[in-house]
Structure 1
Amino acid sequence: MKRFRYGFGIRSKLVLLSGLLLTIPWLGYEYVSEMEKFLRQGQEKTLAGTARAVATALHDRPKLFDVADATVGHSDVYVRSLPASIQLDGRLDDWNEHGDFARSYGEGDLLENSAVHTPASLSFSHNVGRLGKYLYAMFLVNDNHIVLRSTKSPRVDRGDHLRVAIATRDSGFTRYAVTLAEGGAIAAYQLASGLDTTQVVRVETRLRGVWRPTEQGYNLEIRVPISMIGTRVGFAVADVDNDGTHEIEAVIGTSGTDTIEELARVFIPSSEIELILKGLMRTTSRIWVVDARHRVLAQAGSLKGQDRTDRIAIAPPTGLMHVLQRAEEQVLRPVYARVLRQPTDDFRDELSEASQLAGREIAGALSGSLTTRWRLTSDNRAVILSAAHPIWIDDQVMGAVVVEETTNAILTVKNLALERLFTIILAVFLIGALTLFIFAARISSRIRRLRDEAERAIDAQGRFRGVMARSRASDEIGDLSRSFSSIMDKLHQYTGYLESMATRLSHELRTPIAVVRSSLDNLKLQPLPDEARVYMERAQDGLARLTSILTSMSEATRLEQILQNSERERFDLCKVVAGCVEGYKAAYTPRAIELRLPGQTVWLNGAPDLIAQLLDKLIENAIDFSRANSVIVVEIGLDAADAYLRVINQGPPLPKEMQERLFESMVSIRPHKGSSEPHLGLGLYIVRLIAGFHGGQAYAQNHHDPAGVAVTVKLPIIEVEEKSHNWTAHTQVS
């Protein structure tokens, strides 16, 4: 039977050795990583040069920087540049498109209050922006009751209104009241100077706007010329809820509006600096200009939507390279896209609309040195490089230029290099692995063929079936095959000599035994003293034992020769067994033998005489090992493909270590009790030979109910027929 062996074979060793080639992609990756470092250093130097160039264009231009008012307040108003125009229609959708930069004002920003305040009664959100020559402002007001000023009222504060206070460029102070009218129109009035006056000086036509009612209150949008705005501004929303008295119940503002000192500082980025930046801007960078207070004076460019080449344009390949490229695009590139970190513009840019900048590079630039910094975005999807250079006015740092870029271009080049590297390595590995596998498979197949030939040369009983073929190969495996074949030939000759020894001894000893027997017979006829006759009888007993041993030794040899020449026939196993058991009645009286047969005819293909000889050996063995007055059971069992001839005796159990060796030649477990009959352990060996001739097998097991031993012979059947009448299930011989 073929045995499967598991171990560390030649193919496994070759695979392990080829694993050393994995150092090649590691070295390639290290090379690409070093290339990335050089590219980053080059990008850092380029960005620093851009920041130096922009800062040089801004040196010694004091009019571009506001050197006064160095402190920064929480209520300062930063006016962002709007990328597109705002429609004055009371709808705030166009403001949302430019980003959510509105600030909320509520109970903590109350300027006046004459009643119980709730967020529903008055609160608002506010945002400002600049486009061209105008400043735009929006107010989203929560007001549970809107009261409009009557057109007949001489006072402008007899309804919900907006207060606007401005510190003009010439250090003047001007206040305005923007009232709500029917149909969404507004009216703007300049008020007279004084803290408590609401006297109208004139109608202000330069201040325009529209309001629109909402479920929570109303929206208000206004537009003011930049020329009207100085360094400070304040907005306040006044709420009137009583339709009878029209008295103001609450006022909430971005700052106080009564005096110039209460106003919040307004910061409008320099349009002149923005024009300078547009002329120096790189399409792959974002440039900031900040003053000494970290306020953004101007900003140009964007980190998103940068131009970069994802794939290097090369001439289309032909032939095999074209096939490899198509395989790379269809199979490998999706894998690379999942494994490698891909450059993306879809990252969170929290500084895109910042009014103030902070960071290590800006602090370094404001201290007078060029500083760079690498940082990750908050969502870890992009790496941004910043370079900051100081702006000098005389010997004082008045601001800094900050130039930013992502590393998407470097990441694209790195990914492309890694993809090409690993594609080539993968192709080389596949070809090399296939070659090594074929080579290892060839070697292992030759070794397995040599193993199979060696196993086929000897059967399970250790007999030679044939000689091994000699390999003609000139390598080590061929030399091993020829050595094995030579060893097998020598073992075959020696085994044949041992197998024929029993026959030769039997033949050679029969003539001396016959001479001794005739001499003893003649001596027996002579008158002998009684003492001499005792020795003669002992010599006759020893001669009989020697004759029995020679007969047993030659029986197995004769049986093997008979098996080689026996003709097969179709016979009924039940009939043969039943006939044999009937013969055992007289032979082993008074021992009891119980026969159990199925109710079918069991047809086998073989020799019925050999089956009878097999059963003789089983009965002899059962008689020898059974207890006195116990019953010996002979039964036949069936399954789908085999018949089971079983002989059960009650007696001592088999030792566990002998159950597998019991059917080998010259193996016996009979205790020596001075019996006159010699036992060479050939009985069950003959049983195994006959079972093997019929394509079956024999085995012994301990039986527990009753205690004893069951010897079973498994025989393949060719047909089972139902009988017209049942055989007797139990035959007892007593």
Structure 2
Amino acid sequence: MSLMRQLFLASVLMLLIPWAGLKFVLELDNALRAQALQQLDEKGARLAELAGDFMLGVPVAADGNALYADTTTQFPKVDGFTTTWPGFRDHEEQLPWQSRPGQDHLRWLVTSNNRSLYLLIQKRDQGLRPFNPNQPEQPHDRVELVLTPPPGQLEANQPKTWLIRTTAPGTNVPALIDGDVARTDRRLEVAWEDLGSRWQLELRMPKPAPGSRLGFQTGQSSDSHGTEGTPLTPPPLLIQRNTALERALARQLSTGQQVTVIEPAGWIAAHSQAENPMPSTDFDDLSTGQILEQITLNALRSLVRLYQPKPKALATTHHQLHRGGLPDHHLVHQDGTVWLASEHTFFGGRSLLLKQSMEQLLSVSGSALGSVLARSLLIILALTLALLGYASWLSWRIARLQKLVSASVDEDGRILESIPPARASDELGQLQQQFGQMVSRLQSYNQYLESFSRRLSHELKTPVAVVRSSLENLAHSHSEDERQQYLERAASAAERLRRILNSMSEAARLEQSFDQADKEHFDLAEVVRQACAAYQQLDPHHQYHCDEPDTACPLLGSPEMLVQMLDKLVDNARDFTPEGGAIEMRLEHDPEHYTIEVFNEGSNLPVNPGVDIFGAFVSQREGKAEGHLGQGLLIVRLIAEFHSGRIDAQNQHLNGIDGVAFRVIIPKLPNEPRTAP
């Protein structure tokens, strides 16, 4: 069956999509909900471990006698008018005011940022009665404040107390330490304003340590009779949101997720959420197709909600979350939103509640199915025509590639011409590119094979001629000295023949030796150092420079093979470096790899991209080095791969000198000791 017919049948089968979508809608919702719950459980467990690292203090086990401090990123100005208090200007009555039973006319707000704690006290049944220094016994409004550090800290059993009173409304109201008029705590900034039928006090103080206790009372006389507010002995536990934990949790959340860390008494210790952006589009800007899609999407959402289990309501009062356990279906309702919830308990009986917005999940499933149902009938016909046209275009490209491959090789296997590069970057374009690289490599390999016999003949010609002439002269020699001389010449030529044949099979023998090679621990820096010193002594015609770290470079491998690899790299560098030129050897290391680099002056890499200089029987030497068999860099690559490394080469400009750098990168194995770079 042709490709065009196959794509035509595939396009016809797409008519089943609308029917399958209607049957699949509820199954998809259940599957997404189950998958989301599994992901929530896994993420919730990780977040609970993270929260346990941040919250190591004593958990709040009782919901009474506690003062809750909300969080803010703002820095309210303490002026007594609350103009910069977060959310106060437009939503005063909706703020989380705190009060005590029977004292509704006295209420307060507590908030904190990363540096300070802010206290706002508002008394709504009377105006301000200032303090008269000339008549100190006259009734006046006063606020007593006490702060107890957490247990275990310095001076934990010595609470700090302040007396706040003012001679006139305004700012810079003094806070008297222990009521002593001679000791004013300037770390506390207080503003007290008279608003006619009520007064309000703003206070800023350094942020107390976690686990501290903070209490205050208001009154109109020098004694404690008739005071209102929170207890002073013992002061209420100050519950502060853990902002560091909130930031850490926020980085872990995905779109539409919320996480809440709850004390055993229900107080919210941290709360973070990831916003769920829901793009809104004006109805007049929607096209007919978009309107139909939205109608279908809303119908699917209603269908899903109809068959979903009824969510359980979560109630929150005064920054407390009353859970009472999660239902089996893990669906909860809070603030007008349905959530998929997962709860995890950690240190001290605290719990972490991770929630995923069901609106987000419904948007994923509903958008996918709504798009299919609303648009499938309109696009299937166009898709069928597009598939047929696409099949014709693919058939033409495949036929064209077939012709290019056939034209590049003749019947005898000779490469006639290269395949032009593809303009497209898709799979067929990549296939044409691979064919082009294969033809280029085969062409280079064929050229090498065609010249291999000539190079091998050139290498063998001289030693064979020496052996033949020595044997002929040996037959006509008359003295023992002459015969010994001819025998030595023949033996030397035979040895040269042996070396030539050994070089041809060196790579094959090296690969076989890998199976029997034993790895050992050694210092790579010492091996490179000794090898570089030996090269300088053996080759006075080039300038050698070696740069290796002062510290040891432990490696698990074969030092003999690495020395053989360095020999091949240095031999290759000598062949391309002019007399007196520089050969640089460097050993560098980072926490993960060792890098051995050999730089030689005066050569450039071949510009033919189809030539792999690290392959078998590849040599770029010309002229006097024409007989080289091209096995050196292949051996280098094999040894590098034996040590799980790799090798590359590039033209380089080093210290004002142009040349080529060969770089071998060997990873440090996990069981090796690591050294700091």
Q: TM-score range by the shorter chain?
A: 0.3 to 0.5
Structure 1 length as normaliser, TM-score? 0.41
Structure 2 length as normaliser, TM-score? 0.44
- Name the larger-Rg structure: 1
